[in-house]
């Protein structure tokens, strides 16, 4: 996996911000609660699944009003997050002095997992022209039965429970699309596309464990990328696990920055 860009050009930084904005928009859509606010900085957490906590920084530079007391309040807010909360840490947080200081004070003893933020310029993307495997077809999730099936497949694919109540919020968003891939009428793979501005965020790309290794992930990625092009998105972004990164590189995605996710214990 690649770390932060060696040369951070203005365009590269904008694309990194677009990736983070898309990801945070998704978390907010699932349901969020304000935990802490100070000097243009807010700390949020999900009200349920996917159990993330994250920072929104509305000032590019630390406020001169930041004091040791307010920093202590931020540390306390982080330490009081519920057990099991996942706190994503990425290089951009170090650009904000209060956040960097607070994170340096905190001790995280829980498990960690890494993700690679990636981007693809869609102006160079060539949609699949050979067709998809004949036994595979794609359907948009629009009903409760199909949402239940989507959550069941995603839960099995990722090894954790994808809550129907939270995923339901996406059905009410015109800029979100949930896709189910069916093999001979049986749901086998999932994907989610969230549009924010000219950016298409691709999330929850998963395949049933019994169906992995057959090319279904690549097929559903081709489908969602073609959809993103149809929606006039300029870039596609995602956060890859180590297992998924080779496929995304094959499709033309480039690495942006690393996200270290710490699970609070």
Give the pLDDT confidence of 141-170 residue by residue, as tens digits: 999 999 999 999 999 999 999 999 999 999
- Per-residue tokens: 9: 């050009």
Q: Name all domains of the chain by residue range, CATH numbers in brackets.
A: 31-107 (no CATH), 120-257 (3.40.630.30)
Structure pTM? Answer: 0.91
What's the mean pLDDT when you consider all of the chain?
Answer: 90
- The predicted model gives 167-187 an average pLDDT of 96
- Per-residue tokens: 38: 């100070």
Instruction: Note the pLDDT of residue 68.
Output: 55
8 A C-beta contact, residue 55 and residue 43: yes
Q: For residue 142, which of 118, 173, 112 has the smallest C-alpha distance?
A: 173
pLDDT more than 90, % of the chain: 75
CA-to-CA distance for 205 and 191, rounded, in angstroms?
Answer: 4
Q: In b/e form, how buried is each residue of 234-253, taking b as 16+ CB within 10 angstroms?
A: ebbbbbbeeebbeebeeebb
Residue 114 has pLDDT above 70, yes or no: yes
8 A C-beta contact, residue 263 and residue 110: yes
Residue 204 has pLDDT above 80, yes or no: yes
- Per-residue tokens: 263: 């699970």
- The predicted model gives 111-129 an average pLDDT of 90
What are the DSSP calls for the chain, one per residue? ---S-SS--HHHHHHHHHHHHHHHHHHHHH-EEEEEEETTEEEEEESSTT-BEEEEE-SSS--TT--HHHHHHHHHHHHTSPTT-EEEE-GGGGGSHHHHHHHHH----S-EEEEEEEEEEGGG-----S---TTEEEEE--SHHHHHHHHHHHHHHHTS---HHHHHHHHT-TTEEEEEEEETTEEEEEEEEEEETTEEEEEEEEE-GGGTTSSHHHHHHHHHHHHHHHTT-SEEEEEE-TTTHHHHHHTT-EEEEEEEEEE--
* The residue count for the chain: 265
8 A C-beta contact, residue 53 and residue 85: yes
How many CB atoms lie under 10 A from the CB of residue 177?
A: 21
Residue with more model confidence, 109 or 82: 82
Residue 60 has pLDDT above 70, yes or no: no
């Amino acid at each position: 996996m690649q770390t932060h860009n060696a040369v951070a050009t203005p365009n590269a930084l904008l694309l990194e911000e677009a990736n983070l904005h898309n990801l945070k928009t998704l978390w907010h859509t699932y349901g969020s609660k304000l935990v802490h606010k100070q000097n243009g900085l807010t700390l949020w957490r999900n009200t349920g699944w996917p159990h993330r906590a994250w920072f929104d920084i509305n000032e590019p530079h630390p406020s001169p009003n930041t004091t040791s007391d307010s920093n202590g309040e931020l540390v306390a807010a982080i330490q009081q997050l519920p057990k099991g909360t996942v706190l994503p840490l990425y290089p951009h947080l170090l650009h904000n002095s209060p956040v960097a200081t607070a994170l340096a004070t905190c001790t995280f003893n829980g498990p960690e997992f890494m993700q690679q933020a990636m981007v693809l310029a869609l102006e160079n993307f060539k949609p699949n022209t050979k067709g998809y495997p004949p036994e595979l077809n794609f359907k948009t999730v629009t009903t409760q039965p199909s949402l239940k099936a989507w959550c069941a497949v995603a839960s099995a694919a990722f090894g954790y429970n994808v809550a129907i109540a939270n995923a339901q919020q996406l059905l009410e968003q015109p800029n979100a699309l949930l896709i189910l891939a069916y093999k001979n009428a049986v749901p086998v793979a999932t994907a989610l596309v969230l549009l924010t501005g000219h950016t298409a965020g691709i999330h929850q790309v998963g395949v049933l464990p019994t169906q992995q290794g057959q090319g279904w992930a690549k097929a559903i990625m081709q489908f969602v990328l073609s959809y993103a092009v149809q929606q006039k998105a300029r870039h596609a972004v995602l956060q890859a696990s180590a297992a998924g990164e080779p496929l995304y590189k094959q499709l033309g995605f480039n690495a942006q920055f690393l996200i270290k996710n710490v699970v609070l214990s």
